[in-house]
Amino acid sequence: MFDARRYLGINPNEFKQLTPREFSVLMAAETERTYDKYELMATEAMMMRAAYHKEKLRKKDLFKRPGDVKTEKTADDVRQRQKALESKLSKFAEFSGKF
């Protein structure tokens, strides 16, 4: 009950309604959330250091949003790759005739 209050912030009545498995999952999730917070803090520290040491800094030097990444692949490239994979898999007995 002490850990439930300390780490999860839930009251004793909420704790009593949880199964041991649910409590275990919540505690594991809280641990991962803490690790995520530490990872974010480390990233922020690295960005601050980079910003402090670079003379002419632009925003994209620190962070580039994953959606901004352009790909050279076209729909035809994807179709060709899919067909190649299907032809490779069809050689195996458990996959033959399923494509």
* pLDDT tens-digit series, residues 70-93: 677 788 888 899 888 888 877 777
Q: Are residues 73 and 51 in the same domain?
A: no
Q: Are residues 83 and 46 in the same domain?
A: no
Q: Are residues 52 and 81 in the same domain?
A: no
What is the secondary structure of the chain as a DSSP string?
Answer: -HHIIIII---HHHHHHS-HHHHHHHHHHHHHHHHHHHHHHHHHHHHHHHHHH-SS--HHHH---GGG------HHHHHHHHHHHHHHHTTSTTTTT--
Q: Are residues 38 and 77 in the same domain?
A: no
Looking at the structure of the chain, the number of domains it has is: 2
Per-residue model confidence (pLDDT) at position 99:
59
Per-residue model confidence (pLDDT) at position 97:
67
Q: Are residues 80 and 44 in the same domain?
A: no
Q: Are residues 61 and 73 in the same domain?
A: no
What are the tens digits of pLDDT across the range 6-50? 999 999 999 999 999 999 999 999 999 999 999 999 999 998 998
Structural domain that includes position 76: 69-99
Q: Are residues 50 and 27 in the same domain?
A: yes
